[in-house]
Amino acid sequence: MAIERILKDDASEEKGERARMASFVGAMAIADLVKTTLGPKGMDKILQSTGRGQSVTVTNDGATILKSLHIDNPAAKVLVDISKVQDDEVGDGTTSVVVLAGELLREAEKLVASKIHPMTIIAGLLRAFHHCIWVLSCLTSSNDQIAEKFKMDLMKIAKTTLSSKILSQDKEHFAKLAVDAVLRLKGSTNLESIQIIKKPGGSLKDSFLDEGFILDKKIGIGQPKRIENANILVANTAMDTDKVKIYGARVRVDSMAKVADIEAAEKQKMREKVDKILAHGINCFVNRQLIYNFPEELFANAGVLAIEHADFDGIERLALVTGGEIASTFDNPESVKLGHCKLIEEIMIGEDKLIKFSGVEMGQACTVVLRGASHHVLDEAERSLHDALCVLSQTVNDSRVLFGGGWPEMVMAKAVDELARTTPGKRSHAIEAFSKALVAIPTTIADNAGLDSAELVARLRAEHNKEESNAGIDVISGSVGDMSELGISEAFKVKQAVLLSATEAAEMILRVDEIITCAPRRREDRM
């Protein structure tokens, strides 16, 4: 007995088979959970939180679903992580990466059961992975030299990305929005300068792209509603000290007149601050904190537009976009960078008034205004659009493009099968397993569309055995279609990231042979 008591009382460990079993089962369960959201006919999930207000999220985005789950199984957490990374890295393919990793483990489990060492399996999987990337990179096409064609490529990629999301009904409209927004970025992957504003009301079709920057605020009373050639000072400072503010301050006075003196002094202080701010030669002042009516009146008299209580995101983005800096002291005006824009005006969207800054310094800035029936629709639309924007901005940098719709998976599966036949030893089983896992993606796409996946995938395989085939699954007609005619494209970068993350995650989980769970801390230990 003495030997077994290495770990503390409640700590548990699982060894060998059982540990591997637990990690395989957990990972596959996660994969099966998001499997149904894959592809153009994938379904959505409703996530309801148990916290205050029981907020409800309706989503199709693999990363969002997995982020919201509280998972106990350690291997499942690895899969949640890779989908998060995929979301940050390229934006799309969050579901595919989890499904692929799950399938790799499903195949690996069979191999482990037939007494092949995990390390041998890993060696085979890695060999297959490198082969896949090589095959894919040979088959990409790139049109970054010809602007028109490149824009068509981007449109196709955007439509493919959006077709599995809530925006699929108006995907022409949104693909155009996304492509226009990304082409304005001129090759930077910084999506900060594309701002997305959500306004309930109207339909998704009413969404539009507006050049310039829109701040979700109203213009104060008695201030100019329209300013041309604006110089903007963006600040984060307190403009509300026209009353004695120090809590618990006791001031003894012998008459009311003295109180009036104190207030006058306060007012004078405020007036000086406003004069300092006006000394910057500005005609628009945006503050993050509130501006009391007295300084607001002073600004209005000077003909300066003062905006108070702008949210922090708005402020940072506004400073970035207009080329200014956020200031909090105003003693030396020459060292503060002001923002500039050609026109500030008030616009109406639905019921709300907003302030629009057009002709800003950063030419690439623009705002997408999303309209929709309810907050849930808008949130999901924003996520979908964000995915599309991420993928497009990555594609602008790495312009290699592949066909979609299960075409790349079939090509890779075929290449990997051929590799398996020429590889001696046990590794070839693992390589074969990789090709089986790849085929799972077109299979799932077909399953989700309610088609006979076995039949379709067999037909696809036959098509791909001919030379130079562009065959993929056409979910709409329910048969095998030509991907180049249908215009279904994907970015090479996304596929590469999917393969890389899925292989590495599977490798990590395969290496596990023991799970040690720490004992929970007891309350009374602290005394």
Q: Where are the alpha helices (DSSP H) in 185-233?
A: none
Of 5, 71, 7, whose CA–CA distance to 33 is shortest?
Answer: 71
Q: What pLDDT does residue 2 have?
A: 47
Tokens of 289: 């904190």
Q: What pLDDT does residue 525 have?
A: 55
Which residues are identified as catalytic?
Answer: 61, 94-95, 387
User: φ and ψ at 278, to 5 degrees?
Assistant: -65, -25
Three-state secondary-structure class, residue 502: helix
Residue 88's contacts (CB-CB under 8 Å, 6 or more residues apart) are none
Burial 146-182 (b: 16+ CB within 10 A, else e): eeeebeebbbbbbbbbbbbbbbeebbebbbbbbbebb
Beta-carbon count within 10 A of 25 CB: 15
Using CA atoms, how far residue 352 sits from 223, 242, 243, 288, 395, in Å, is 18, 31, 32, 20, 36
Residues linked to residue 346 through DSSP beta bridges, in sequence order? 355
- How far is Cα 70 from Cα 299, in angstroms, rounded to an integer? 51
Q: What's the predicted TM-score (pTM) here?
A: 0.82
| Contact of 275 with 367, CB cutoff 8 Å | no
β 366-372/194-200 pair status = parallel
| Contact of 481 with 474, CB cutoff 8 Å | yes
Residue that the structure tokens 């030893």 belong to: 425
Using CA atoms, how far residue 436 sits from 100, 256, 410, 417, 433, in Å, is 10, 89, 10, 9, 5
- How far is Cα 390 from Cα 493, in angstroms, rounded to an integer? 11
Residue 92's contacts (CB-CB under 8 Å, 6 or more residues apart) are 161, 387, 388, 390, 391, 491, 494
- How far is Cα 11 from Cα 13, in angstroms, rounded to an integer? 7
For residue 187, the one-letter residue type is G
Tokens of 260: 């009036």
Exposed / middle / buried, residue 450 (Cβ in 10 Å: 0-12, 13-18, 19+): exposed
Beta-carbon count within 10 A of 266 CB: 16
- How far is Cα 185 from Cα 363, in angstroms, rounded to an integer? 8
Q: What pLDDT does residue 5 have?
A: 65
DSSP 248-300: T-----SSHHHHHHHHHHHHHHHHHHHHHHHTT--SEEEESS-B-HHHHHHHH
Residue 286: how many CA atoms within 13 Å on its side-chain side? 30
β 339-349/352-360 pair status = antiparallel
Burial 500-516 (b: 16+ CB within 10 A, else e): bbbbbbbbbbbebeebe
- How far is Cα 168 from Cα 40, in angstroms, rounded to an integer? 8
Three-state secondary-structure class, residue 481: strand
Q: Tens digit of pLDDT per residue, the chain (527 long)? A: 445 667 777 777 777 788 888 888 888 899 888 888 888 888 888 888 777 777 888 888 888 888 888 888 888 888 888 888 888 888 888 888 999 999 999 999 999 889 899 899 999 999 999 999 999 888 888 777 788 888 888 888 888 888 888 777 888 888 888 888 888 877 666 777 788 888 888 888 888 888 778 877 777 677 777 888 888 888 887 776 655 555 556 777 888 888 788 778 888 888 888 888 888 888 888 888 877 777 888 888 888 888 777 776 777 777 777 778 888 777 777 777 888 888 888 888 777 788 888 877 766 678 888 888 888 888 888 888 888 888 888 888 888 888 888 888 898 999 999 999 998 888 999 999 999 999 988 898 888 888 898 999 999 889 888 877 888 888 888 888 888 888 888 888 889 999 999 999 999 988 888 888 777 776 665 55
Q: What pLDDT does residue 434 have?
A: 93
Q: Please, what sign has the CA dihedral across residues 19, 21, 22, 28?
A: positive
